[in-house]
Structure 1
Amino acid sequence: MAEKQQRLVLSIIDFLKEAVDTEGTIKADDKESLEVAIQCIGEAFGVDPSDPIQVHRLSVKPATLPTIFDVFLKTREKVGAAASSSAPASQPKSLSAEDKAKAEKFKQSGNSLMSSKKYDDAIAEYTKAIDIEENAIYYSNRAAAYSSKGDHLSAVGDAERAIAIDAKFVKAYHRLGHAQYSLTDFSAAADAFERGLKLDPTNAGLKSGLENSKARIVPDDDDDDVPPPLEPTRDPSGPGAGLGGMADMLASLGRGAGGGGGGGGMPDIASMMNNPQMMAAAQQMMANGGLAQMMNNPAIANMMNRVQSGDMPSMEELMSDPGIQNLAQQFGGAR
């Protein structure tokens, strides 16, 4: 599931939960249905609003779904107004020297207010300048003011507008990248910084921003690449070492008996494997060639085939074979 989709889903869930919790927003009879819908939406997109780690990763706060939608409407109104203008977009509105000076004065005032950290007042001054002239610098400066007060979504809108006016204005790409990074949209931030670096390859701020953004990008398929668990392996120096097929047979017997005493009086094979005296006797058998002779016994081979196929023989069947009786007698003397 793409992280961008999950961010949108979490924003929708937050909006719906706020509607449920806010008195008078929806009818009381509809609250239960809305709560069920919230749960279904979260499950469908793999979003759990009760998981603090996931919420921290996906949240776009302080932005909310209503504020995002509000920015979209305002942007569409501006774009629509520009498109309906009879003058070609490439021809800026003719301004008198007096108007240009007035806009520049508003910009300077905004810069002074920014230095005093009076961000709302600075935004108001930049807006006055923009009302006189659609200037990339004015939009970029207002984007910086929005980011300084934590309204990074509005900063994105202004930075994009600055780039639309002057695609070669490098500082606007830095404003855009910073705002996207603050919204935790690290892929979009990296894209903005890269676009700026194409214009100014030596810009240290853009380089640093790009490195930081790339370091925070999490691939969408991280959760899908979990390797399957490895099969446990026997310690070559542990109990059963050097017994070859016999150790595997005993391990199979232990699994068939549930790892302990099984049906038909089956012995606890796990305990047998961990008994030093028992293993010493088995190793002695192998050294004397007795184990090899026993493994050539057709009855033993048949028993192992049955064990591997899941057909566990009873103790009576096992002990009725002379070869196994002999093995049992040798194990019996190793207590």
Structure 2
Amino acid sequence: MADARKKQLAFNIIDFLRTSQRDGTVKEDESESLDIAIEVISSAFGVDLESADDVAQYSIKPASLLSLLDVLAKTKSKATSTGAGAGAAPAAPAASGPTEEDKTKADALKTKGNGLMSQKEYNQAIQQYTEAIKLNPNPVYYSNRAAAYGALNQHDKAVEDAARAIDLDPQFAKGYSRLGHAQFSLGEFQKAIDAYEAGLKLDPANNNMKSSLATAKLRLGEQAPATERSASPSAPAAGGGMPDLSSLASMLGGAGGGAGGAGGMPDLSEMMRNPQMMAMAQQMMANGGLERLMSNPNIRQMAENMQSGGGMPDFNQLASDPALREMAQQFMGGQGGAGGR
């Protein structure tokens, strides 16, 4: 059985042969011979280019055998030209990195991932960003993948990717925004505050981060026991009650009826003639709820998805969001209106 170093060499030889087939280095009528060679090498050394474990253990990307060969040739040439004089320090190998071809392919994968994000195909978008990262570990690609993980509520992974983006480029303000959003979604409000504040030092005019920071500070202050919040004199005494969020979903075009049909764009003029909707809107404006609602990172992300072509959100899903229910209770009073919980 071949040792790990030989397996790694065999794995990357196979990767080089596969790349040569894809980029046109090898003519199509000769490609079949390479397939046979790939199969023989793979079997002899016990490696598989499609195995995630083998990729993690043996792949040298974003470098390649060709880039390493270039480094060796340059090092050898420099050593020859300087001679072998006494006390001469050996030439340091040049830093390897993605080629221009790798960067072009990675950017195309990123663009495809962005398109899949707008279609809410988040798992497929993650695959595209992952392939782009293999070719060119770029902070933007990690940031975009963090957004995709966040859309799937995989916020731990989003934190990892956002942190990686910041490691690669500490001046990348968007990375701090992604990190803050992921930590906010995990309920780690102090960490979210720290991330937003770091991002605002780099981008002081970023209003989205300012709003998110304010919301995170608000949520941190609301982590007192529920009994203390219910006894707070700041809660409105009027019997506005908790609105029926399921009914609101229907009014806004969610599944089960309402203006616009299932998932469609609501008829705003019809909504504003609805007495319940008007009462809710008046209460929210009177209590400052509308401003706070629009500063919530989850609402902002929903708006960004809509602007990028993602379509109308699932209002039934919004209605089941505990954070939004809590906001509604605070804005309109927790007296237990119809459907309130």
**Bin for the TM-score computed over the shorter chain:** 0.3 to 0.5
Asked which structure has the greater RCO (Cα within 8 Å, sep 6+), the reply is: 2
Task: Please report the TM-score for the alignment, with normalisation by the length of structure 1.
Answer: 0.39
Query: Radius of gyration: which is bigger?
Result: 1
Task: Please report the TM-score for the alignment, with normalisation by the length of structure 2.
Answer: 0.38
